[in-house]
Amino acid sequence: MTEGLITIASGALMAAINPLGAELWSLRDAEGRELMTDADERWWTGHAPLLFPFVGRLRGDVFRVDGAEYGQPQHGFARRRTFALVDRSAESALFRLESDAESLAIYPFAFRLDMRFALRGAKLEMMATVANSGGADMPFSFGYHPGFAWPLPYGATGEDHRVIFEKDEPAPIRKVGSEPGLIALESVPSPVVGNVLAPTHEMFAGDALIWDDLASRSLTWGAPGTPHLKIDFPDTPWLGIWQKPGAHYLCVEPWAGMADPVGFDGDVWEKPGIIRLPPGESRDFRMDVELMP
């Protein structure tokens, strides 16, 4: 395990979190089998970055507010900042990132982002709380981006794995469009049959699959008849599923917000999925991952 990671454990799971980005780096079962990405540098060295204050790419890597323009990297800056560890027990840890001179230079809003991880038996509970500590309405989005092992370490082949949504998902989906990282204006037919997605590596040759008309707030990932993951995301209305073709992970990404559409040049308040948070208020975003027998 990499030096500097914060570990928590229950009898059924062990999680390791990197304070850099408050990023979940590892989730292992009671036998030590890894349930997350191997972070093979040939494809993607990420593990589970937190997406804040924006999800996805901004057109030209900038956003506009109050007549000013600010640069912003894809998925925001939180994943590149070190969070303070403010509370820890054997089974839980709370990390905090607060605005400072560096953040205010590129995102002129005072905020606090708390990220709590807690293990309860075979379930990892994650709760992000975004608070507006400034004096003006704050525009933001938030998303999770965990990469889970594909295949999971229970003997099935990758071809056997399925994403099973809690509800049928017949609505069309979106993909990345003609501008790199931006959302296509047109939708495409859903690859979900009923409530089942049978992913293939080729499916992601054009980048992520994006659900912006999602009925489900829960799904499972794994192969029939083997231990699998149940993933709940009650507070995020959109979903991205992504991998680099050939890699050993599948990212299941619940989002409250998304990348700019192709051609977007409006103010941040016109950006699809932006949340307006009044001063002194906060919003919670929960994601639970449970290992099912």
| Residue-wise pLDDT tens digits, 127-179 | 999 999 999 999 999 999 999 999 999 999 999 999 999 999 999 999 999 99
Express each pLDDT in 86-125 by its tens digit.
Answer: 999 999 999 999 999 999 999 999 999 999 999 999 999 9
Of 224, 77, 94, 229, the closest CA to residue 161 belongs to: 224
**Which pLDDT score is estimated for 3?**
72
- Cβ atoms of residues 88 and 292 within 8 Å: no
pTM over 0.85, yes/no: yes
Of 191, 203, 77, the closest CA to residue 150 belongs to: 203
Return the amino acid letter for 194: G
In a domain, 1, yes or no: no
Residue 30's domain comprises 6-292
Return the amino acid letter for 260: D
Tokens of 251: 């990212």
Tokens of 152: 């999971």
Which residue shows structure tokens 């929960």? 286
- Three-state DSSP class for residue 74: coil
Express each pLDDT in 20-60 by its tens digit.
Answer: 999 999 999 999 999 999 999 999 999 999 999 999 999 99
Sheet holding 123-132, edge to edge: 84-88, 92-98, 111-120, 123-132, 282-292, 228-232, 218-222, 162-165, 196-197
pLDDT at 72 over 70: yes
pLDDT at 246 over 90: yes
What percentage of the chain carries pLDDT values higher than 90? 99
82/66 Cα distance (integer angstroms): 29
Tokens of 160: 């056997």
User: Which residues make Cβ contacts (< 8 Å) with residue 16, sequence separation at least 6?
Assistant: 1, 2, 5, 6, 7, 24, 25, 26
DSSP string covering 141-185: -EEE-PEEESS-SSS--GGG-EEEESS---S-BEEB-SSTTSBPS
**Which pLDDT score is estimated for 2?**
61
pLDDT at 1 over 60: no
CATH number of the domain residue 114 falls in: 2.70.98.10
Tokens of 67: 């007549």
pLDDT at 253 over 80: yes
The number of domains in the chain is 1
Mean pLDDT of 79-92: 98
275 forms beta bridges with: 140
**Which pLDDT score is estimated for 269?**
97
**Which pLDDT score is estimated for 233?**
98
